[in-house]
Amino acid sequence: MSAPSESIAAIEASAVRFREDFAKVRHEIAKAVVGHRAVVDGVLVGLFAGGHVLLEGVPGLGKTLLIRSLSEALHLRFSRIQFTPDLMPADVTGTTIVVETERGREFQFRRGPIFAQIVLADEINRATPKTQSALLEAMQERSVTVGGTTHELEKPFFVMATQNPIEQEGTYPLPEAQLDRFFFKLEVGYSSREELIEILDRTTTGKSPAIERVLDAASIVEHQKLVRQVHVPAEVQDFAVRLVMATHPQGPFATPMVNRFLRFGASPRAAQTIALAAKVQALLDGRSQASFDDVKGSVLPAMRHRCLMNFEAEAEGVDADEVLRNILETVPASAS
């Protein structure tokens, strides 16, 4: 079933502004962040799709700088939470306190740093699972419940978390339920020789980039609504579903590599993520409907953190990306 022609024309017309705003934010981030184009685009896809993003990489690669630069380019309230082993859930969500008023003592809710529109959860794996779980409701429901009272979070609400994959001392692995709520997991790699030279030129000569605010909350919410209007043809949607089901060991679409190396596959949220990311890519290309290539391009960041490897995979050094590439090579785009 195809989308009506009037709808197609309206979406393609709105896609022009979508691409312009996407490029504006990307340009402002590039004033401070050298390289990492794929990572920057992945973060922006998560923002415009209404999801949350997990950045993984060793210290010093610019993860926090990227997030801070994004917050400076947007007219949104920004909050940073430094996760540590002694951080408590109330330090994230807020707590009810007793205050003196004209009417006597009263209970008042003091909001925590989660009450922002862009939240940086820095080194999220350093906090205990109890504290990590304080983000679950906020990330999924866009609300926080304290003392039996639910407080709605302002839209848009975007969580970006960072973690170091190397250092294990004093860290706690993110629970599967927590990982599943991240739209994308993006791996931040090392810079090239040319990029390192540019980084030195920018950071050791006293230059300070001036990042302009180019997008406000209303525009972002409008773009997020536009993304959901993009059409996904039935055969493209079925391809996304089969790719997700291919990660389920012993399932009807599982590959031999999946059966050998995966304990558990991706959840239905992975299919939702792939579809939304494909819609964003379609808009960036000026199209009103997603394609097979749009789906393929989002598979790794959408599912690498949603697939649980088994002991054999760990012993042989096989990671989720290798299994997902095998799935992309094996599962045909057309079901026929």
Residues 31-82 have pLDDT tens digits of 888 888 888 999 999 999 999 999 988 777 778 888 888 888 888 888 999 9
Name the pTM for this structure: 0.88
The CATH class of 230-336 is mainly alpha
Q: Residues 6 or more apart from 216 whose CB is under 8 A from it?
A: 74, 75, 76
Cβ(303)–Cβ(183) under 8 Å?
Answer: no
Cα distances from 33 to residues 29, 55, 104, 208, 236, in angstroms, run 6, 15, 52, 12, 34
pLDDT category of residue 305 using cuts at 50, 70 and 90: very high
pLDDT at position 5 over 80: no
Percent of the chain whose pLDDT exceeds 70 = 96
What pLDDT sits at residue 167? 63
What pLDDT sits at residue 275? 95
- CATH number for 1-85+116-214: choose from 2.60.40.1180, 3.40.50.2000, 3.40.50.300, 3.40.718.10: 3.40.50.300
Asked, colleague to colleague, whether 1-85+116-214 and 230-336 share their fold, the answer is: no
pLDDT category of residue 4 using cuts at 50, 70 and 90: low
Question: Tokens standing for 301?
Answer: 């960041």
Q: Which residue is listed with tokens 């089969």?
A: 242
Show me where the domains of the chain are located. 1-85+116-214, 230-336
Question: Tokens standing for 167?
Answer: 């250092």
What distance in Å separates the CA atoms of residue 224 and residue 21, rounded to the nearest whole number?
12
Lowest-pLDDT choice from 46-50, 147-151, 219-223, 300-304: 147-151
What distance in Å separates the CA atoms of residue 315 and residue 219, rounded to the nearest whole number?
48
Residue 289, beta-bridge partner list: 231
Q: Is 174 left (phi over 0), alpha (psi -120 to 50) or beta?
A: beta
